[in-house]
Structures are given as structure tokens and as C-alpha cells.
Structure 1
Amino acid sequence: MTDNKPCKVCNFTRQKSYGLVVPSLDELKTKGCEFLGFSPAEPVTVVLEDDGTIVQDQAYFLCLPLNTKFMLLHQKEAWSPGRRMDGGTAWMARDSMLLEFDTVEVDTVDASSAAAPWWDLAQQLKQDLASIILMSEAHLQTLVDAPSPELASALGFQEKKAEDLQETLQRVLDRREEERQSKELLQLYLKAVAKEDGQQEEPSQEGAVDVEVDGMDVDSSSGFISRTLMVLKGKTSPETRLSTEDLQMVVSRGVEAMEQVLGWDRTRTSALLMACEAELTGRLQQVQEVQSIRSNAQRDISEQRAEDGEKTAARGSN
């Protein structure tokens, strides 16, 4: 029987850490997920906390020294080096902390910032800005919602640069949401086509019911995916988070229909529709501009080829 092995386990932010005694790698995953509050149904990857080495072999797990610290990662989480303070400058930080506590006005913002969920993410970016590529949407949203002055201080940026970074992250989130919405609409369309081919006519049902298509809740009374309705009712520029197809659907419905769908008054609904229409117009203009550029490029290539052909023919005749 395999002896139990004392070790430690933490999440990717290192804010939660627990000591365990387990006999195997599988037991480490099971107990680690339980202690860290992970869902047992979600797959996790075990890595070494100090260097990110993936541990997936039982024999390698048993060869590791006692009290080794492991990190459990979800699918979209990535290992990053821990925040360490240089020994040559540690005294500066220590004296700075003592000075803050000695002052009459205690800077509680810095203390709360260090405990805020975005702090470790900011330190990851400070060490390696490219790590932003591996961050999940939840992590990106956390950075977007962070106070700009405090984020700038954590990154060592000017406040304007931190605000620009947050705007860029928001655009990344909007683009991902648009891609997801487009994919879901395509899946919904393909599912509807398959049902239509499989049966000529479905029995009608009275009243509005919610259906589920490929894991997506669809409100049959409005025709919108439930997630789309949540985006529409969002507080921050919902039109920028919708796909082009959803924008077309919203604009085509009109004010009265959208009033019933959203349960809003005429003024608020009209404002949302105007914003959606402006966003849709802007996107269509971008598509037209891209098509125009492409057409001009193809025409230039054709003209250049024709000109080269004439020159070749002229040289041949000489």
C-alpha cells in the first residue's frame, strides 16, 4: 500500500493554500478541488507551484520531495511566477510600510489593493505583458473593473496608460463575446434546419416556453438567446457586446416589440435601439470599406498583370 505523502496545494492566484496528506496524484486532485472550492466535474491540471512543471504521472509524483507545493489550474488558467521581493530592496518596502502605519492618515487603498483579486493579475502583467493572452475572460473582466489609479500604481504605469489598457481589454472581451454569439447563432440555425428536415410540421404549443438548443436557453416568445437578453439589459454599452446578427434582429423588431421583450419604457427602449442601429451602421460601413479596399487591391493587381503582359509582349516583338 502506498504511503501517504504530505504536500501543499494552492490555486493559481496563490491566495488559497492548504496542506494535504494524500497517497496518489488522483487523490491530490480530488482533495485539492474540495479544499479550493473547485467543482469536481471540472478538469484540473496539476503543476509545480515554483516553476509550473506539469505533473501528470503517478511515478513522478511519488519521486517529488515531501511538502512539495502544487498548483491546481482550470482549463483557461495558466501558471505564472509568484510575486517575489528582491532582497536588495526589501528594506525599502518594509520601511515604507512602517512609515504608512506611523502616519495619521493610513493609506487603506494600498492595503485593500494588495488583497484585491486583480492585484495578482496586475503583477503577472508587470512581469510579462504577454501573459494577457492566456488569461480567461473572467480575469480580463477583473482587470477592466479594477480602479484605474490603483491599477496604474500596481503596473508602474501612468494612469492614462492604465485606462488605455483597460479599454483594450474591454474590446478584447467584446470581440470574444461577439464571436461566441455568432457561433451560437450558427449552431441554432443549423439545429433549426435539421429539425425542419426531420419533420415537416411540429405541433403548436400555446403560450411562450423556454427551449434549450445545444446548451443554449432560447426564449420562444422573443426569439432571443437568454444570454442575449442579459446582454441587452446590461448597464454598459450592450450594443457593443452583441453580434451583428443580434443587432440586426434588435433593429428589425422595432420599439414596440422590444418594449415587450425587455419590459422597459418607450424612452429607454428607443435609446437602446438608436445605439444598436448606430453600432450596426458602423459595422456595416467597416465591412464595405474592407470590401472596397479588397476590390481596389484586386483591380490594381489585374492592371499590373496586364501592364506586365504588355511589356513582355513588347520585348518579345523586339
Structure 2
Amino acid sequence: MADRKPCKVCNFTRQKSYGLVVPSLDELKQKGCEFLGYKPSDTVTLVLENDGTIVEDESYFLCLPTNTKFMLLQEKETWSPARTFEGGTVWMARDSMMLEADAVDASSAPFWYLAQQLKQDLASIILMSEADLQSLVDAPCPELASALGFPEKKAADLQETLQSVLDRREEERQSRELLQLYIQAVEKEDRQQEALNQSTQGGAVDVDMLDGLEVDSASGFMRRTLMVLKGKTSPETRLSTEDLQVVVTKGAEAMQRVLGWDKARTTVLVQACKAELETRLQKIQAVQSIRSSSQPDSSQPPSEESKEEGVEVPAHASD
């Protein structure tokens, strides 16, 4: 009988490893299944841990050096290389890997399979649903660290990153919804303006009766204008000059009734609208002043330089 050979055996995740002394390949498989908790009826494949070479020949087994490390693979499990990551060892399994039933209870740890996806490829975060991301964020940090093979600090940092991904997706969703509401409001206003123009061509029209959903008969403002006025940030900058004039003309007391605000808040809004209106009017006046100064004054007689250059002088200018 051949001499007994010292060797090592591990499961496909490399999280369980045992030292054995066996005389043959068959006994290695038998004892390996026993130590790793496999059933005697399970079909297993023996491979070299370092490169995945399948070991089936008894002579080849006996030629291997002592303390060779083997891996026992169950059905549907495949060998994958071990990779190092930031000083720690992270065992990367393939898509087809199946977790051991005695190592993981999927009903009690639903995040475990998601953690295995991240363990294989961190970029899979972008393909996960929000429910999956939330499951990883809510997972106990020590258990998540164990599933990933990370230190707890790194697992906590990962959970913060996942929460940031969730927050960003929520912000993007809200932005899309706001943009859609804005587009709908603009389209309604355009339709209302088009109907107003068509009605105006046929004769006078009562604007308040044009579209009761768009014009507030009590305040005289468009519904969209009221929405802008009640906005959170600088509504005066988003109003037309005509709307600003209406707000300033109505005054704080009337706008207080329109908006349903307190006096102080309404006064601040009216003052902001007044300042914005004055700024716009000053810009208009400045543009008009520039235009007028750039045009020549025909009332002034031609200069001496013009005469010397041969510019024709009207006959009545010499009288």
C-alpha cells in the first residue's frame, strides 16, 4: 500500500480548508467530503486549487508534492482563481457558482447573493435595482463584510456608496418628474395662447372665460404664474415684465389675499418684484440711450472738416 500523503483540501469559495493525510485519491475525496460537510451521495470533482487542473489519475496524484492543496467542487460549481484586493484576499467566484446550503440561509440573509455579485464585480452596482441596493444598505455591516470578505470599515464605506447611488437615482427621478410637469404646463399655456389669438381674430373675448383651468378669475393671474410666484427660490426672476408690473401695481395687500401668505412674506415678494422690474426698465433705458447716441444728429450743421473733405453743403446753409 502506498505511503500516506499529507495534503490540503478546500471548498470552491476557499472559506473552508482542512489538512489531511491520505494514502489514495479515492480516500482524499471521501475524507474531503466528510470534512467539508458534503453528502456521501454528492458527485464531486477534485482539482488543484492553484490552477483548476482536474485530478482523476491515481498515479498523477501520487506524483504530486506533499502539502498540495486541492479543491472539491460539487455539481454546478466551477473553479475560479484567487485574487488579492487592497492587501486582503477576496475570492472571486463565477456566475455559475452555487453557495453551500449549510453556509448560507438565503431566507435569513437575502442580501448574501447580491453580495456575491459585488464580490465578483463591483461594477454590477449599476445594474442592480433600487430594492437590491436597499437590501445591501440595510444589511448588518458585520454580516455584509463576512459575505464580501471585506473588513468591516470597507463594508461600511461600501454601504455609504450604495446609499449615495440610491439618493442620486431619487434625485434624477424627481428631476424628470419636475421637467415633465414643466413641459406640460408650457404646452397648456401655448395652447391657451393659441386659442386666445384665434378668438381675438374673430372679435373680443373674455379671457377669464377662455379656460377656467388656466386663468384664476379672482386674481387675474395665469395658474402657471401663480405657481411661479409660490416657488421657493427667486420667483421674480422667472416672471415676465408684464407679470411683474401687475404684482407691483396690485401691491402687498392685494397679493396677500391672492397668495394666502402673511404680510411680511408678501411684502418681501412685492419688493423683490419691484426691484426686478426697475432693473429691467433701467436696462431697457440704457439700450435706448446707446441706440440714440449712436445715430447722427441731422439738426447740427456740417463741420469744417466735412466742408474741406468735399462734403456737399445744402444751398440754404450758405444763406
Q: Same fold (TM over 0.5)?
A: no
TM-score tier after normalising by the smaller chain length: 0.3 to 0.5
Could you tell me the TM-score, scaled by structure 1's length? 0.34
- Which structure has more relative contact order (CA 8 Å, sep 6+)? It is 1
Structure having the larger proportion of residues in helix: 1
Determine which structure has more spread, i.e. the larger CA radius of gyration.
Answer: 2
